[in-house]
Amino acid sequence: MPGVLAAGADGFLLGASLIIAIGAQNAFVLRQGLKRKFVFTIALICALSDALLIAAGVAGLGALVRRSEALIVIVTAGGAVLLFAYGLRAFLRAARPGSLQAAEARTTSLGQAVAACLAFTFLNPHVYLDTVLLLGSLAARYEGEGRTAYGAGAMLASFVWFFGLGYGARLLAPLFADRRAWRALDVAIGVVMWALAAGLLASLAA
């Protein structure tokens, strides 16, 4: 039992260290949390998607993906295009910022939010590199119940993070009643998105 608990803790800590970073998916969840729009659904989709990828990695899919250079190129190029487009949208929002109330008033359907969430998740090559390949390869250190506990720990980290980020964003709501805060957030998101897109394109050219 101590070995199983240690494996679970190891999975939780590594999963948390990989997911707690500034990226397209986290920026999207944060923005939805600030607007208080479909927070539960978006957080659940992100967490379940991560859990699916973690399970695939722990089960050994990482080795298969590592051999498919064409798949990596396609996912990387698609991710770069998505990040560039989302960064452009963020800069355009920054050019005409609104308050939190104005952001809440702008209608975004559940379908649009879910589609964007899935795109940020599955068109992000870092998800496959970190979640499937890295977590999956490290899971090979464990056998049987230990490997299961390792995967479960990593999945738990995803659920804690996405729901904490989505609902914790409400604590920042008073700050984002000011237009300048929205402008700063959107500029920061735009810079991060374009930096990530440039990094992906550079990796293809290398």
User: What pLDDT, on the 0 to 100 scale, is given for residue 101?
Assistant: 47
Asked if the model's pLDDT at residue 24 lies above 70, the reply is yes
| pLDDT: which is higher, 101 or 3 | 3
Per-residue pLDDT of 67-85, as tens digits, reads: 667 766 776 787 688 778 8
User: What pLDDT, on the 0 to 100 scale, is given for residue 185?
Assistant: 78
User: Closest by alpha carbon to 75, among 127, 113, 25?
Assistant: 127
User: What pLDDT, on the 0 to 100 scale, is given for residue 100?
Assistant: 47
For residues 95-105, average pLDDT:
54
User: What pLDDT, on the 0 to 100 scale, is given for residue 22?
Assistant: 60
Per-residue pLDDT of 136-163, as tens digits, reads: 777 766 778 888 898 999 999 999 999 9
User: What pLDDT, on the 0 to 100 scale, is given for residue 13?
Assistant: 84
User: Closest by alpha carbon to 37, among 189, 184, 192, 170?
Assistant: 170
User: What pLDDT, on the 0 to 100 scale, is given for residue 75?
Assistant: 67
- Is the dihedral angle over the CA atoms 200, 122, 89, 179 positive or is it negative? negative
- Three-state SS string over 169-185 comes to HHHHCCHHHCHHHHHHH
| pLDDT: which is higher, 184 or 101 | 184
User: Closest by alpha carbon to 139, among 69, 72, 75, 53?
Assistant: 53
For residues 14-28, average pLDDT:
76
User: What pLDDT, on the 0 to 100 scale, is given for residue 63?
Assistant: 58
Whole-angstrom distance, CA of residue 150 vs CA of residue 169: 29
User: What pLDDT, on the 0 to 100 scale, is given for residue 1?
Assistant: 53
User: Closest by alpha carbon to 46, among 100, 150, 117?
Assistant: 117
| DSSP code at position 144 | T
User: What pLDDT, on the 0 to 100 scale, is given for residue 102?
Assistant: 43
Asked if the model's pLDDT at residue 169 lies above 50, the reply is yes
User: What pLDDT, on the 0 to 100 scale, is given for residue 2?
Assistant: 55
